[in-house]
Structure 1
């Protein structure tokens, strides 16, 4: 298990500056006995960046399976079709177990969400995710309440909210 909050040696910083641009953070962390967050933080403080070739590779990452190749995107879709609903952290753990990096999993999930294939709600870093196909028409799922039809219907019929609205009108008058 990586050490928490260990100081960086000169040799470790040299290795990081040499390998950071072309290797996954998880691999560098394993090589140095540090956490992935430690690698990312030190690289940021040193001004290191991933190479364009590496970033392109991460976006297009595929792994070979016995039944052909699978992308991180396909792995997420398959997992969600099996489990129906789960958290983003559980998705990333599953995709990592298939050999993908966490970065590839995060990129694929963000793209699935932006394409409307996957829906999510919840708190930062703890999103509940599900496939959007098969959702009832007319329902809107948002993290916030603005534009959420269910919330708007509740707002129109809830006595407490009606009283609160009246109190706000009285206060502003």
Structure 2
């Protein structure tokens, strides 16, 4: 397993070591001891979630605030998407900056997103299955979000906006400047 920190402090790309032969493949999805040794972060996941989406589905940008903030370890089981993490930590030197990474069933790359980040993704292939672990339980009263096309964040979602499939709830999210962070 290779772990590389992104330009956003505490946000890591995890590339597994994949063992393949004529029977198929095997790889370790997560190892807490290795993760802690390579990142200095001791994380304990308490909730796993999975979604299936069609091409063009855009989910996000979502986050949990306060004591309900969540760190996430995200990956694609089937298909392909662009994953976006936005640093929402006001005391961070990269506050308001984001990264975009392609996650797919082929590359098997994962992204660790620490607490205090917004998260979203856009699906690039039909029938994409997205899986993620959270280190804190979801709390509806603590949910927050930022509109996906915020001019200040200037995220390049790579697809034509006319192809986007966005929930009504996500279309009503506030801008970065008006979000409750």
The TM-score, its normalising length taken from structure 2, stands at: 0.23
Q: Which has more strand, going by share of residues? A: 2
Q: Which has more helix, going by share of residues? A: 1
Larger RCO of the pair (alpha carbons < 8 Å, separation 6+): 2
Of the two, which has the highest radius of gyration?
1
